Amino acid sequence: MAVVCRNLRAFAQKTSSLRCTPNFLRLYSQSKPAPPKLVTVDVDKAGVATVTLDRPPVNSLNTGLLEELGVAIKDLEANKTRGIILTSSSNSVFSAGLDILEMYEPKKQNLSLFWTTLQNTWLSLYRTSIPTVAAINGHAPAGGCLLALSCEYRVMVGPKFTIGLNETQLGIVAPQWFMICMKDAVGRRQAEMALTAGKMFSTQEALNIGLIDKMVSNKEEAIAEAQKFIAQFAKIPPLARRMTKESIRQEGIKYMEENAIDDLKAFMDLVVQPNIQKGLGMYLEAMKKSK
Ligand SMILES: CC/C=C\C/C=C\CCC/C=C/CC(=O)SCCNC(=O)CCNC(=O)[C@H](O)C(C)(C)COP(=O)(O)OP(=O)(O)OC[C@H]1O[C@@H](n2cnc3c(N)ncnc32)[C@H](O)[C@@H]1OP(=O)(O)O
């Protein structure tokens, strides 16, 4: 503030009609609003945090949102939060998955930061000792499904929304750690069928194969079910819970710890291929035209 004030005073002296008054400073700071937050966090009286993805229109996962989500999880861990409910501010989309604009005609440095941030945030969510629930209040394709799968419990608003890892439909292969998450939830056989077809499941279909745990009819019910799931852990000794979660999720955790660099390289090499770039461009065009 002191530097801003000094600069303004110098500017005011030059123009002589301006003074570095509180009113002038308020007008100056109002003209430069802070960028909107992409993730909001509300902690209730019971110590349960609702973490809301808030990047309209579709919560596509760009570097900024992923970074904020990662920081939010770390902060909640430091504050010994009792549970995390991950949801969306949209009425129809939980998350549209990775932001395709981060991958289309990218600068190398930005692309690398994007993927590394995704890896780190995913690992933070997947392995956090805090109980996690996805309250899926809209469509959750690809990376949106990955976020939900990384939580311990999934409650989804139905029946009209869809969820799944649809990568093969886009002509791409979901990274191994996406596949591990799907296997964690539905088992190897169902995961193979879902992933090879790139199937998007209706809420009822997702419930039938265990991709979600509960179907509800609105967001309020989803949050209430999520709170119920988290409340059961009040009676479980936290260390035993934490060690059990870490142990049962060992395959995914170990995979990322050992393969992050190779995974980044594979992604970077693939995305810049001319045929992939062409495909991404066409996909973006098709989404615009379908409006
Ligand atoms: C693709 C990767 C390529 C190479 C890398 C190779 C391998 C590595 C593995 C990479 C793994 C990727 C996993 C992913 O997550 S990829 C993203 C997959 N996501 C999708 O396919 C979802 C696409 N979106 C939708 O289906 C619909 O938008 C949705 C059902 C979510 C919502 O529909 P609705 O009708 O409500 O909104 P739209 O009108 O469609 O969209 C509104 C605007 O938002 C833009 N949009 C939508 N999704 C994305 C996105 N994922 N990224 C960027 N932008 C997106 C859409 O274009 C509209 O924009 P405007 O026209 O308003 O400008």
pLDDT in tens, 83-97: 999 999 999 999 999
Q: pLDDT-based confidence at 4, cuts 50/70/90?
A: very low
- Would residue 34 count as lying in a domain? no
Active site residue 221: no
Q: Which residue has the higher pLDDT, 5 or 275?
A: 275
- For residues 131 and 189, is the Cβ–Cβ distance under 8 A? no
* CB of 93 closer than 6 angstroms to any ligand 1 atom: yes
* CB of 103 closer than 6 angstroms to any ligand 1 atom: yes
- Would residue 51 count as lying in a domain? yes
Active site residue 70: no
- Would residue 20 count as lying in a domain? no
Which residues, at least 6 apart from 245, have a Cβ–Cβ distance to it below 8 Å? 127, 129, 152
Beta bridge partners, 157, equal 216
* CB of 117 closer than 6 angstroms to any ligand 1 atom: no
Candidate from 86-95, 166-175, 255-264 with smallest mean pLDDT: 166-175
* CB of 69 closer than 6 angstroms to any ligand 1 atom: no
Which pTM was predicted?
A: 0.91
Active site residue 205: no
- Would residue 21 count as lying in a domain? no
The domain of 222 spans 39-290
* CB of 60 closer than 6 angstroms to any ligand 1 atom: yes
The owner of tokens 């805090």 is 130
Which pLDDT score, from 0 to 100, does residue 72 have? 98
Q: How far apart are the first and last CA of the chain?
A: 46
Cα–ligand 1 centroid distance for 213 (angstroms): 25
Residue-wise pLDDT tens digits, 48-81: 999 999 999 999 999 999 999 999 999 999 998 9
Cα–ligand 1 centroid distance for 95 (angstroms): 9
- Would residue 19 count as lying in a domain? no
b (16+ CB within 10 A) / e for 252-276: bbebbeebbeebbeebeeebeeeeb
Candidate from 2-6, 94-98, 132-136, 213-217 with smallest mean pLDDT: 2-6
Which CATH number fits the domain that encloses residue 258?
A: 3.90.226.10
- Would residue 245 count as lying in a domain? yes
CA 60 to CA 96: how far, in whole Å? 5
What average pLDDT does range 212-233 have in this prediction?
98
Which pLDDT score, from 0 to 100, does residue 9 have? 39
Q: Is the pLDDT of residue 177 over 80?
A: yes
Q: Of residues 143, 158, 164, 198, which has the active-site annotation?
A: 143
**Number of domains composing the chain:** 1
- Would residue 9 count as lying in a domain? no
- For residues 109 and 155, is the Cβ–Cβ distance under 8 A? no
Which pLDDT score, from 0 to 100, does residue 3 have? 36
Side-chain-facing half-sphere of 154: CA atoms under 13 Å: 31
Candidate from 20-29, 159-168, 201-210 with smallest mean pLDDT: 20-29
- Would residue 11 count as lying in a domain? no
Q: Is the pLDDT of residue 143 over 50?
A: yes
> Which of 38, 58, 105, 116 to probe ligand 1 with, by most ligand atoms within 8 A of CB?
58
Q: pLDDT-based confidence at 288, cuts 50/70/90?
A: confident
> Which of 53, 66, 95, 100 to probe ligand 1 with, by most ligand atoms within 8 A of CB?
100
Q: Is the pLDDT of residue 15 over 70?
A: no
Q: pLDDT-based confidence at 138, cuts 50/70/90?
A: very high
Which pLDDT score, from 0 to 100, does residue 17 have? 39
Which pLDDT score, from 0 to 100, does residue 196 have? 98
